[in-house]
């Protein structure tokens, strides 16, 4: 029997992301424009976030036109049993590279509309309408595409605990074009990001390259890691954020399963349940 599931979504974000996460209060309902609907301020123009989570049981009504087009890429998670509902005439405009993931792992999450039509209610990503009131309620899947990595094709990317309090960051590419280097960053809890290493890239190659970095002797706490790839012309892309908790015992990944209980590998795309060596599990979007 799987033990208590902790929910953590790991998503690609743009290099310019502010690194914040906004979460709706749980339990409860609220309007998008109401400050008490959110745990860290209303996500609106000038107040950008890389991840917006609508937890299970929370109903958020979009009562204003939400224009976030000038923010970096945003990833919205509508957990199972949560809902985003549009009042008639209201819209959600997101920047290029944004995604909206609606979870169906137990009870469908939902995106629903008011009484308007497609010209009245819609979701726009990078100037393209990806859902409108003319469409049925959106009850599972992903709207939009994550940002494309600039200079590499990524085969795998992981962070795991070894030897009780060491963390291994490893990734593999299957091609690299104009790739200068990678920058590994870490933060503890709510602290600022700190660069802990810079790894030279493979420049131009069509063969597989494997990279590995070990962060040794960490104190107990919740750590976050991200790897940024830099082209020779200075452009960059963040692979994503990995979350690691250093606790009282060693914890490493034993296996991963999809929501149907089937065992999957690191290349699987979607919601997975990660089983750790200490018996705990974690629901992850990879």
Q: Could you read off the pLDDT of 211-250 as tens digits, one per residue?
A: 999 999 898 888 989 899 999 888 888 877 788 888 755 5
pLDDT (tens digit per residue) in 157-168? 888 888 778 999
**141 phi-psi bin (left φ>0, alpha ψ -120 to 50, beta other):** left
Does residue 200 lie within any of the structural domains? Answer: yes
Would you say residue 283 lies in a domain? no
Residue 210's DSSP bridge partners are 172
Distance, in Å, from the CA atom of 183 to the CA atom of 283, rounded to the nearest integer, reads: 27
- Whether 64 and 158 map to the same domain: the answer is no
What is the rounded distance in angstroms from the CA atom of residue 156 to the CA atom of residue 172? 5
pLDDT score at 107: 81
Q: In CATH, what number is assigned to the domain containing residue 226?
A: 2.60.40.10
61 and 172 share one domain: no
Give pLDDT, residue 182. Answer: 94
Q: Is residue 285 part of a domain?
A: no
| 9 contact partners, CB below 8 Å, separation of at least 6 | 51, 53, 75, 77, 101, 284, 285
Highest mean predicted confidence (pLDDT) among 2-16, 136-150, 188-202: 188-202
Q: Does 71 lie in the same domain as 39?
A: yes
The residue that leads in pLDDT, 185 or 57, is 185
For 114-151, the pLDDT digits (tens) are 877 777 889 998 888 999 998 999 998 889 876 556 67
Two tokens at 221? 């706490």
Per residue in 20-68, pLDDT (tens digit) is: 667 776 556 789 998 888 887 788 766 778 778 888 889 999 999 999 8
Distance set, CA 130 to CA 54, 146, 153, 211 (Å): 19, 14, 26, 36
| pLDDT confidence bin for 251, thresholds 50/70/90 | low
What is the domain extent for residue 73? 5-143
- The verdict on residue 91 lying in a domain is yes
Question: Residue 132's pLDDT is what?
Answer: 92
Q: Which residues, 6 or more positions from 262, have their beta carbon under 8 angstroms from its beta carbon?
A: none
Average pLDDT over residues 190-206: 89
Condensed to tens digits (0 to 9), the pLDDT of residues 65-115 reads 999 887 777 888 898 889 999 999 999 998 877 889 898 877 889 999 987
In whole angstroms, what is the distance from residue 228 CA to residue 199 CA? 10
| Same structural domain, 115 and 163 | no
Of the candidates 69, 66, 148, 71, which has an alpha carbon nearest to the alpha carbon of residue 111? 66
Whether residues 117 and 156 fall in one domain: no
Q: What's the whole-model pTM score?
A: 0.51
């Amino acid at each position: 029997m799987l033990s208590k599931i902790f929910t953590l979504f790991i998503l690609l974000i743009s290099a310019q992301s502010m690194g914040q996460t906004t979460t709706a209060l749980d339990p409860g309902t609220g309007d998008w424009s109401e400050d008490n609907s959110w745990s860290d301020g209303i996500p609106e123009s000038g107040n950008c976030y890389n991840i917006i989570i609508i937890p299970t049981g929370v109903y958020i009504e979009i009562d204003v036109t939400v224009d976030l087009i000038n923010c970096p890429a945003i990833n919205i998670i509508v957990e199972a049993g949560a809902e985003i509902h549009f009042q008639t005439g209201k819209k959600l405009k997101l920047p290029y590279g944004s995604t909206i993931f609606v979870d169906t792992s137990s009870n469908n999450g939902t995106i629903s509309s008011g009484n308007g039509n497609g010209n009245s209610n819609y979701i726009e990503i990078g100037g393209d309408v990806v859902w409108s009131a003319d469409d049925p309620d959106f009850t599972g899947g992903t709207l939009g595409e994550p940002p494309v990595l600039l200079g590499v094709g990524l085969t795998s990317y992981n962070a795991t605990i070894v030897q009780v309090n060491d963390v291994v960051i490893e990734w593999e590419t299957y091609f690299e074009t104009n790739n200068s280097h990678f920058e590994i960053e870490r933060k503890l809890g709510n602290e600022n990001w700190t660069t802990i290493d810079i790894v030279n890239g493979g420049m131009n190659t069509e063969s597989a390259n494997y990279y590995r970095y070990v962060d040794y002797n960490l104190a107990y706490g919740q750590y976050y890691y991200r790897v940024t790839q830099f082209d020779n012309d200075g452009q960059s892309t963040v692979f994503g954020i990995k979350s690691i908790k250093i606790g009282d015992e060693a914890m490493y990944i034993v296996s991963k399963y999809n929501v149907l209980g089937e065992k999957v590998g690191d290349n699987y795309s979607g919601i997975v349940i990660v089983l750790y060596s200490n018996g705990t599990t974690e629901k992850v979007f990879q």
